Structures are given as C-alpha cells and as structure tokens.
Amino acid sequence: MGHVTELFDAFPFTEPARRLVRDEEALFTPARQPAKGPQWDEIPPLEVIRIQQEFMDLPFSPPRVLWEADDSRMEWQQMDFRQPMYHRNLDVDELSYQIHGPRTLMTEAGTTELRPGDMVRLPVGIAHDNWGRRSSHLLWYFPTPITDVAPVVSRAEVRIPPFEGWQAQAVNEVATDCLGGLHCDRAVQLSDETLLLQQAEHESWRLQVMHPRPSGNETTWVFQGSDHLVGVTTVVDSDGRTYTRHRNADEVQYQAEGTRLLISPNGVVEMTPGTWVRIPVGVAYASVVAGESTHVTTVSRNRLTCRYADVTESEPWDVARIEEHRADVLPARV
C-alpha cells in the first residue's frame, strides 16, 4: 500500500501525461456523500464481456455488436463459411483483428490471407468478401479517414483465382451506410467477381497487413483517426502501481494473450484471453501482471455503449486484497 503514480493523459496522447501522486488506499475508499448540497451519481462497476477465442460450433449468425457510439461500432464474428456477398461500406472505414484461425480477405484493393494477430483496414468504398475457416475476428467501423500508422508486414496482391477451387461467376454486391450494420442496404446488385478482383490492378493503393509486436511496457498504435485510436499493448511484470486515467476518452481492452488483473476503483477484472472490458472516461486503472500480457486497445473520444446481451460486471476489491494478489504473483516486488 502507500503512494502510487497516476498518469493523467488526454487523447490523442501527443503531449506527455501529467504525473500525479496518489494515496492508493484513498483511491479505493468510497467517497462519502455530503450531508448537504448536490449528491453525485452512483458510480457503476466496469462492463465485462467474455467470449472464448477458439471456434465454437454454433448456428450461423451475423456479427455480434459489442460496443457502439453514434459514429462507431465494435463487433465480434466467427466464420466457417464464405460471406454470401461482397460488401461495400459507404460511410466508414472497416478495421479488423484476426483472433483465431485463417481468413481469406478478397477485395478491390487486393487479396490476402490473415492469421491470428494480423490487423488490416478496408478503406471506405472498397468492395470486399471473406472466407473464414473455423476462424473469428474483431471488427471496428469508424468514420473515414483512418490512417495505418504501424509497420506494414505484407500487402495484398491481385490473385485470380483468390483460392483453390474458385470459379468465376456473378456475385451479390451490397452497399450499406450505417456502420456496416443490417437493414440499411442502399444498393443490391449482381457483379462480375473477376472484374471486382481485377480492379486492384488499377488502384494506386493495396490493402496493408500489420502484425504489431510491442516490446516491453508499451502500446503500438495501428489505426488512427480524429476521434479513435486502435493499438496493441504489452504489459510485462507489472505490480500495478502506475495507474492511467484518460481525461477525454473511453477505452475498451480485449485480452489477446496472457493473463493479468485489471484493477480500478470501479472494480477488478481477471483478464483472460477472450475478455473485453470498457474503462469509462475519467476512471483510473492499472494492471498486475506476472510475465507478459498482450491486449488490443481501442480508445474513443465518444462514449461507447455496450450492446452485447451477456455482459457481466467487475468485482469490488479493496487495497488489502489487491496487495495480497501482488504478493502472490510478484513476491519479489512486494
């Protein structure tokens, strides 16, 4: 127990964070409502979603919405099929992170094979199709323009046929303008798939695949927009005595590899692979990690509302219990 450090930062994180000294026990002690004057709102626990990473034999379903705002949406999807149409977003860039299994992404900006950990951005207006084999991936729909800011590991190529057994035919093409969602189709038509795939020969830009591997305790940003950032964060052997608090942004974290204990005055979450948690604007948080942990970080200046049906809550812990956990997992550092 005792004093801890708080990094008080602000989106887009181009300026150094302010470093504040906090009394950790006071940070976790519920504040008393004043006897007179305005009463503050009850502070809710953190929202938590858990979905196993391995492919699950479930009936077909469209992507499942996790969080969304007026201008953005986050989804999870698993695939053991080829998408039944080429899709064209009219209003947003579409980003993805491959969680499990292989997926062939066929687009007007080239065709590429995606493996776990790969991240890719589909610019607004680019027609695309997917073929997943017992795979799952995370999706973001953000207002354009979004920029790729991480090192590129490969680029899509013109590939006809795009996969073994492919045959040229007319395919469905659907254009939507509501964050990639359902029931907002603006144009539906048949298109020659060969012509769609050959379009990449005439484009000046090819689809870029990134596979960030941060070293040490750092975040590698992958996608950047005016109000959104997506990156990959690695935490190594952390005692959780350095907290972060965003002044002007919500954050959603998806645990990709390893385990850690996310601690905050709003509750504690055991982050195992396949766990999502939302940290609201203004809430301080830290991670206790033995070894190495990797999570996908999404930061949005707009409030993200949970839309997933099976959402749970963080657990209330006091500082004494957190200190016991530190002693268990990092005995040499406590």
Residue 154 confidence (pLDDT) above 80: yes
pLDDT grade for 39, boundaries at 50, 70 and 90: confident
Per-residue model confidence (pLDDT) at position 178 = 87
How much is the pLDDT for 273?
98
Confidence of residue 35 (pLDDT cuts 50, 70, 90): confident
Residues 132-149 have pLDDT tens digits of: 999 999 999 999 999 999
Report the relative pairing of strands 103-107 and 128-132 from DSSP bridges.
antiparallel
pLDDT exceeds cutoff 60 at 334? no
pLDDT at 82 over 80: yes
Tens-digit pLDDT profile for residues 176-202 = 998 887 778 899 999 999 999 999 999
pLDDT at 88: 96
Listed range (25-39, 87-101, 209-223, 228-242) with the worst mean pLDDT: 25-39
Task: Please tell me which residue, 296 or 181, carries the higher pLDDT value.
Answer: 296
Region 301-322 average pLDDT: 95
The CB-side HSE value for 258 (13 A sphere, CA atoms) comes to 18
Domain 3-30+45-49+213-333 in CATH: superfamily? Jelly Rolls (2.60.120.10)
Task: Compute the average pLDDT of residues 246-273.
Answer: 98
Dist CA 121 CA 222 (whole Å): 10
pLDDT tier for residue 59 given thresholds of 50, 70 and 90: confident
Domain 3-30+45-49+213-333 identical in fold to domain 64-210 = yes
DSSP string, 15-62: SPPEEEEEEHHHHTSPPPPPSSSPPPPPPPPPEEEE--SS-------P
Distance CA(160)–CA(168), nearest Å, equals 9
CA–CA separation, 34 and 40 (whole Å): 9
Please state which of the ranges 48-62, 91-105, 111-125, 215-229 shows the lowest mean pLDDT.
48-62
Q: What's the pLDDT score for residue 1?
A: 58
Local structure of 179: helix, strand or coil: coil
Residue ranges of domains in the chain: 3-30+45-49+213-333, 64-210
Output the DSSP codes for 253-320. EEEEES-EEEE-TT-BEEE-TTEEEEE-TT--BEEEEEEEEEEEEEEESSPPEE--SS-EEPBP--HH
Q: Which CATH architecture has domain 64-210?
A: Sandwich (2.60)
| Mean predicted confidence (pLDDT) in 25-30 | 91
